[in-house]
Amino acid sequence: MATIMFVDDEAGIRNALRRLFADSPHRILFADSAAQALELLNSNTCAVIVSDNQMPGGSGIDFLCKARHLAPDTIRVMMTAYADLGTTLNAINRCEAYRFVVKPWDDQELMDMVDGCVMRYELLNSLRLKDEAVYRSLAQAIELKDHYTRGHCDRVVEFSVALGKRLGLSPEVLTHVEHGAMLHDCGKIGVPEATLNFPGKLDDDQMKVIRQHPDWGGEVARAAGMHQITVNIVLYHHENFNGLGYPTGLSGEAIPLEARIVAVADVYDALVSDRPYRKAMPPEVAMREFLAMSGTVLDPVIVDNFLEIVKELELEV
């Protein structure tokens, strides 16, 4: 059970939040001042702190700066009725606020935001353990959310490592490739299951959420101190060789090699697996689609090497 702390000097706001989160699975703490919040933080491990900014006895930004030093892993959120640019930049630069909430809030958006912050906190702490068994558990947790990807991570790992060996990567680099392939979709932990399993074409808003998962996962992997190769895979595995991918629009060899490797493995397995919006393609159709992406979505040299692996493994095509 994660602990969430709300800090606000107005009793009416605290009561509204208490009602809103009455049925929450999280443990909820309330403080009416920065001083009380610091006392609670000294005796409680909080996953998320949501603090008002305008409070007597000290601003929310000052409090969150102190909280950052006391509990650096806690996700910090600023809540204010005065959403001016200066306050926002001050919150981001001084206390590294992760989110900014404007009063009056939308109840569902606030609850979803808190849940997302909790997932970020838990993912960050799991990745910091540097334990391969934990990585595999995370991959399985992602697959439980996205029912159509069961076994996907294991297959992407197998193909990616085989490609890395064929391309002459060192054992040390192959380890990072394995971890990156295992965790490539870890950012999907922050995507609602209804979106992941939507049985049809996603609308623009849903696609916008889906396309955030590489950034979200890469940011957490970086914060957890994971190797840069692993971070690169999580962050860049949806970049396209022609520069039309996401999240940054990198192209060609500007995309890290290891991310290009995992992209090939990821795309191939997606084509031959069931998805919410379509059934798995027959092998010969999947291979035609796969080859059509060579030089546009995928690195053609890596695709050629993958075809040799397919032959060696005698996969049905």
Contacts (Cβ under 8 Å, ≥6 apart) of 40: 5, 29, 31, 46
Contact (Cβ atoms closer than 8 angstroms) between residue 284 and residue 246:
no
Residue range 3-124, CATH number: 3.40.50.2300
C-alpha to C-alpha distance for 271 and 251, rounded to whole angstroms? 22
- DSSP class of residue 247 equals S
Domain boundaries, the chain: 3-124, 130-313
| CA dist., res. 213 & res. 220, Å (int) | 11
Q: Is the pLDDT of residue 40 over 90?
A: yes
DSSP 295: T
pLDDT for the residue numbered 146: 63
State the amino acid at position 173 in one-letter form: V
CA distance 316 to 287: 10
Distance CA 24, CA 293 (A): 45
Q: How far apart are CA 91 and CA 263, in angstroms?
A: 36
pLDDT band for 317, please (50, 70, 90 cuts).
very low
Position with higher pLDDT, 83 vs 58: 58
CATH superfamily of 130-313: Hypothetical protein af1432 (1.10.3210.10)
DSSP secondary structure letter of residue 120: H
Q: What is the pLDDT of residues 96-113, one digit of tens each?
A: 888 888 889 999 999 988
Q: Which two tokens stand for residue 68?
A: 């950052």
Q: Report whether pLDDT(48) > 80.
A: yes
The mean predicted confidence, pLDDT, of the chain is 88
Give the model's confidence band at 293: pLDDT under 50 very low, under 70 low, under 90 confident, else very high. Answer: very high
Helix (H, G, I), strand (E, B) or coil at 283: helix
d(CA 225, CA 211): 23
Confidence of residue 196 (pLDDT cuts 50, 70, 90): confident
Nearest to 75 by CA among 108, 123, 109, 39: 123
Question: Taking 80 as the threshold, does the pLDDT of residue 50 lie above it?
Answer: yes
> What is the pTM for the complete model shown?
0.81
